[in-house]
Amino acid sequence: MFSTFDPLQGKRLTIMNESGEIVAPEWMPKLPDDKIVDAYKTMLYARIGDLKAVSYQRQGRLYTLPTNIGQEAAAVGSALALEKTDWMVPAYRELGAWLVKGATMRDYFFYFGGSEEGSRYPDGTRLLPVSVPITSQLTHAVGIGFASNYKGEKDVVITYFGDGGSSQGDFHEALNWAAVFSCPTIFFCNNNGYAISLPREKQTKSKTIAQKAIAYDMPGIQIDGNDLFAVYRATSEAVKYARDGNGPVLIEAITYRLGAHTTSDDPSRYRSAEEEKEWEAKDPLLRLRVWLEKKGLWDDAKEKDYSEEATSDIESQFAEFEQYKATPIEDIFKYTFEEMPDSLKEQMIEVRNHVNRMGG
C-alpha cells in the first residue's frame, strides 16, 4: 500500500468518498458489519461528547477546551486499528481515539474541568495524558516503541500531532530516532488545515506532510482523514508493518476542524464561511451514515435512539464530575515525588493551616 500511495506523486488514499460511495473497493478493509456500526456509534458518541463539552464550557461549567468536531473518523478509525496492549500517545484533539483506548467522558470532563484526576485513566489503559507542548510527545512514543523492541514485545505505539506540529524540531528528531532504532511507532498527523489561525500552506513549503517521511527512509502516506475506511485501513497496514519489525510509519490524514481551535478562538477571523460549508459537506459522520443506511444497517430511528442513549450516558458522567468540588490539598503535593521531601511536607501543612484559619 505504501508504495502505491506515493506522496511525491500526489497520491492520497480514499476508499469512501464524500457521498458514501466506495471508490476503491480493492482497499476496503474486511470489517464485519457490526464493527462498522460500532465505529459509527463511537464517532457519534465522541461528537455528542464534544458538543456537550463545548456547551458546558459556554455555561461556565468547564474551562478552555479544544474542539474535535469534524475529526472523528481520523481519531476513531486509527484507534480501532490498535490492540488493547498497544500504546497511544495523544496530543489534545483526539477525543474519539482516547475513548476507543479506554478513557471516558468522565476523564475528559475532569481534565478540562480543571483536575489532574482526568489523566488517571482506568488501570492498565495504555494511554498517555494530553500533551500540550506541541509535538513534544512524539519523542515519548519513540521511547515506548524502543522499550517494546528492547523487551522483545510486539506492542506498537501510535502518536498524534497536527499539521502545525510538523514544523517543530521534535517532529524531526523523533522521526529520525524512530527510523535509526527501527521503533514500532506510528506518527499520525491530523492535518486539519490550520494551526490556530495559520493555514497549512504557510506552515511548510512541502506539498505534503507525508513526504517528510522519505528523508528518514520510512513509509509516508497521505489519506482522506474523513473516510473511516481509509483511516482504518492505512493505520492497520502501518500497525502490521511496525509490528512485523519494519520500523516506523508516517500517516498524514487530511481532515478539517469544523469547530474553533479552542473555546477561546474565533475562526471567522481567519477562514471563510464558504470554506466551512465546503467541509461540512465532507463531514466524516455524514458519509459513513449514508453508507450504513444504504446497507440497511442504520436509520433515523437508530440514530435517534443511540443519540439519546449517548447523551444520557454523557450527562450522567458530567454529573459525576460536578460532584467534585476542589482538588484535595494533599493531592497537589503528594504526586511531585514518590516520597514527599520534608520541604514539601512543610509547605503542604502551611497551605492547610492557612485554609483552616480562613475557615475553608
Partner 1 sequence: MAVMNLVQAINSALDLKLADDKNIVLFGEDAGFEGGVFRVTDGLQEKYGEKRVFDTPLAESVLIGAGIGMAVNGLRPICEIQFSGFMYPAFNQIISHVSRMRTRTRGMFSVPMVIRAPYGGGIRALEHHSESTEAIYGHIPGLKVVIPSTPYDAKGLLISAIEDNDPVLFLEPKKIYRAIKQDVPEEIYRIKIGKASVLQQGEQLTIVAYGAMSRVVQQAIQHAKKDGYSIELIDLRTIYPFDKQTIVESIRKTGRLLVVHEAARTFGVAAELMAIANEEAFLHLEAPPARVTGYDTVIPLPKGEDFYFPDAARVYEAIKKTIKF
What are phi and psi for residue 329, nearest 5 degrees?
-55, -40
Q: Which of 173, 293, 315, 320 binds partner 1 (CB under 8 A)?
A: 173
Q: Is 354 a catalytic residue?
A: no
d(CA 300, CA 298): 7
Out of ligand TPP, partner 1, none, what residue 194 binds, judged by CB under 5 to 8 A for its kind, is ligand TPP
Q: How many CB atoms lie within 10 A of CB 49?
A: 24
Residue 152 makes contact with partner 1 by CB under 8 A: no
Residue 93 site contact among partner 1, ligand TPP, none (CB < 5 to 8 Å, cut-off depends on kind): ligand TPP
* Contact with ligand TPP (CB under 6 A) among 7, 113, 162, 284: 162
- Give the active site residue among 257, 306, 352, 354: 257
Identify what 140 binds: ligand TPP, partner 1, none; CB under 5 to 8 Å per kind: partner 1
Q: Which lies closer to ligand TPP via its Cβ, residue 204 or residue 246?
A: 204
How many residues at the interface with partner 1, by CB under 8 A?
42
Hey, which residues between 93 and 132 contact partner 1 (CB under 8 A)? 116-117, 119-121, 128-129, 131
192 binds ligand TPP (CB under 6 A): yes
* Residue 195 binding result from partner 1, ligand TPP, none, given CB thresholds of 5 to 8 Å by partner type: ligand TPP
Active site residue 257: yes
Query: Does 216 qualify as catalytic in the annotation?
Result: no
Q: By CB under 8 A, is residue 331 in contact with partner 1? A: yes
Q: How many residues bind ligand TPP (CB under 6 A)?
A: 15
Euclidean distance between the first and the last CA atom of the chain, given in angstroms as a whole number: 62
Q: Verify binding: residue 347, partner 1, rule CB under 8 A.
A: no
| Residue 132 binds to ligand TPP (criterion: CB under 6 A) | yes
CB of 157 to ligand TPP, least distance (A): 19
Residues that are catalytic: 257, 261, 270
- Residues near ligand TPP (CB under 6 A): 93, 132-134, 161-165, 190, 192, 194-196, 261
- Residues near partner 1 (CB under 8 A): 87, 89, 116-117, 119-121, 128-129, 131, 133, 136, 138-148, 150-151, 157, 169-170, 173-174, 176-177, 180, 331, 335-338, 341-344
